[in-house]
Chain A
Amino acid sequence: MSQSPTDHTDDAPPTTWKKGDPIAAEGLPTTTGDSIVGRTVTINRPAAELFAYFRDFTNLPRFMENVVSITPIDATRSHWVVKAPAGRTVEWDAVVTDETPDRVIAWTSEPSADVANSGRVEFRDAGARGTVVTATIVYDPPAGIVGKIVAKMFQREPAIQARRDLRRFKQLMETGEIATGSFTRKQHDEEFA
């Protein structure tokens, strides 16, 4: 039985709840899945700069390991090509559902998508520390729990992926590059293939 968000008496973000319905509490569309991932990172750059980089979806493959490409269709719609386990890719169209410049960008996959998902990224000014960036993603794990296990084996599990992607976004914004332990150009290209 799901509880209403008001059952919670603490101030913890819904994505960290042990009980209740965090997806409803976050106001994300429940039609796009039953799994939710939330990650927060503080980036030592102004919110406007981070928002501008993120809002240009063609930039996302630079730090999102799973995303092969995102092609804008019009002002709010875009076509996503994303890696799936076993060398396959999945594709869908997504539409921007909420946009407040320098503050919020949210999107959801269109109903025809094989892997339903939606996401929201918030940028909150944190003064001398820069900007607190919170990413919340709701998705339908491919083929239920088995798919989730397979995805985890291939390190395509969204919870791990979201954390790593946000770290790369932070590195790119703060240092202008993405740290690598690779040795040769060939190794590096394989790592970021």
Chain B
Amino acid sequence: MRALAWHGRHDVRVDTVDDPEILNPRDCIIKVTSTAICGSDLHLYDGYIPTMQAGDILGHEFMGEVVEIGPKSTLKKGQRVVVPFTIACGSCYHCGKHQYSACDNGLPADNQDIAQELYGQPMSGLFGYSHMTGGYAGGQAEYVRVPFSDVGPIVIPDGIEDDKVLFLSDILPTGWQAAENAQIEPGDTVAVWGCGPVGLFAVQSAFLMGAERVIAIDHFPKRLALAKRFGAETINFEESAVYEALMAMTGGIGPDAVIDSVGLEAHGFFVDNVIDQIKKSTFLGTDRAHAIRQAIIACRKGGRVSMPAVYGGLVDKFPLGAFMEKGLTLKTGQTHVQHYMPALLNAILEEKIDTTFLISHRMDLEEAPQGYKMFHDDQNEVTKVVLKPGFN
């Protein structure tokens, strides 16, 4: 089959590789019909994520048709499914609590060592996202083996086009969980750093959860315009001072809840960000964390910090003093996709949530390397690239 493989920093290629096979009883194989490039794929593309190996197949946002099932799969051939990016078993203690991204058994035993050392405990597996998260082949391919297919994939009713439901795999539940983690109360003002897909879905979700005002922060005019479309007020950090603007816009109180949907590759010419970049390039640090620092400083006293953004390693100059003195609460984590999928599918079917606005480019899988380059180089114009095998 054809698949998009990582070969190094800014080097991804569509290769011909072996077809995946059923290996465990609960597996299924799906024939991919749509798969997206995620903002977090750019972290791989930029070489920020350790334990990548040349030839690794990328992609963790995908859907398709079930073409093969293991003896313990509950799916049927021919069903259309969206697959969660988190690989979770459904039978461990954490899955029992619907903390799917903390699944004990999603990672192969040998791949758990790194996370155990780095984080204290291993997390769930992820598709197409380095060997630390299981070394699972991803969905930017013609076919994918899906483990625990009796737990993860959600069946899509006939007649609903791919573009409407594809984002159930990651970014829609991630935006929703980000808003939920912000513990929004009616009348709240919520500030969202980063108007990428997760930030934009967080904006929509925050309003649905009762936020009175949402303030969206970015520097790409197109993305800010999308946030505005959903009712957000905007701050362009290249045009205005973010902290000062937030204080002025909230009567000097600060936002009740702040959401960092930027993560470890924050843009912008801020002192801490520049130092982070130097440290990253000299291997003294791994993550650039400007957005979360700014969010903590801006947040009102006793407020909530939600951090859906991806961080992988260590960060310094974390404003722990401000965090403690103001009595903030931080909630974060990879998304418990399986928990949110059914309700969000209903919200899509009832047309309460629109996701298709996000897609700026549809391309053939064969054009995936070009898609990565475009998404990387022009984040103003390119909001979301969806790849479809056999599109051309």
Instruction: Tell me if A177 is interfacial: C-beta within 8 Å of chain B.
Output: yes
Contacting residues, chain B, for A13 (C-beta < 8 A): none
Contacts of A182 in B (CB 8 A): 23
A-contact 0/1 string along B92-105, CB 8 Å cutoff: 11001000000011
Expressed in whole angstroms, the Cα–Cα distance for A181 and B128 within the complex equals: 10
B329: chain A residues within 8 A (beta carbon) = none
Complex formed: what's the CA distance from A167 to B147 in Å? Answer: 17
Known contacts A175-B148, A178-B109; A183/B20 CB under 8 A = yes
When C-beta atoms are compared, the residue in chain B nearest to A189 turns out to be B23
Return B16 CB to nearest CB of chain A, in Å: 14
Residues A44 and B23 in contact in the complex (CB < 8 Å), given A167-B112, A180-B108, A181-B136: no
In this complex, the member of A170, A181, A182, A188 whose beta carbon has the largest number of chain B beta carbons within 10 angstroms is: A181
Chain A residues contacting B72 (CB-CB under 8 Å) are: 176-177
- Closest-by-CB residue of B relative to A165 is B109
B25 within 8 A of A: yes
Tell me, rounded to whole Å, the shortest Cβ–Cβ distance linking A100 to chain B. Answer: 25
A160 CB–B CB distance under 8 Å: yes
Chain B, interface size: which category? Answer: 35 or more
Chain B interface main SS type: loop
CB distance from B238 to the nearest CB of A (A): 42
The answer to whether the Cβ of B145 comes within 8 Å of any Cβ in the partner chain is yes
**Interface contact A164-B110, CB-CB below 8 Å:** yes
Contacts of B20 in A (CB 8 A): 183-184
Interface presence of A179 (CB below 8 A): yes
A142–B64 Cα distance when bound, in Å, is: 51
Residue of B18, B134, B137 near A179 (CB, 8 A) is B134
> Does B21 interact with chain A (Cβ within 8 Å)?
yes
Complex interface residues of chain A between 116 and 131 (CB less than 8 A to chain B): 129-130
The reply on B74 being an interface residue by CB < 8 A is no
B89 within 8 A of A: yes
B111→A44 contact, CB < 8 A: no
Closest 4 interchain pairs by CB? A181-B135, A167-B109, A177-B24, A164-B109
Residues of A at the B interface (CB closer than 8 Å) are: 42, 44, 129-130, 160, 163-165, 167-168, 170-171, 174-185, 188
Q: Provide 27 A-B residue pairs closer than 8 Å at the C-beta atoms, listed in order of the A residue.
A: A42-B93, A44-B92, A44-B93, A163-B116, A164-B113, A170-B92, A171-B105, A171-B109, A174-B89, A174-B105, A175-B26, A175-B89, A175-B90, A175-B105, A176-B25, A177-B24, A177-B72, A178-B108, A179-B105, A180-B24, A180-B147, A181-B125, A182-B23, A183-B20, A183-B145, A184-B21, A188-B21
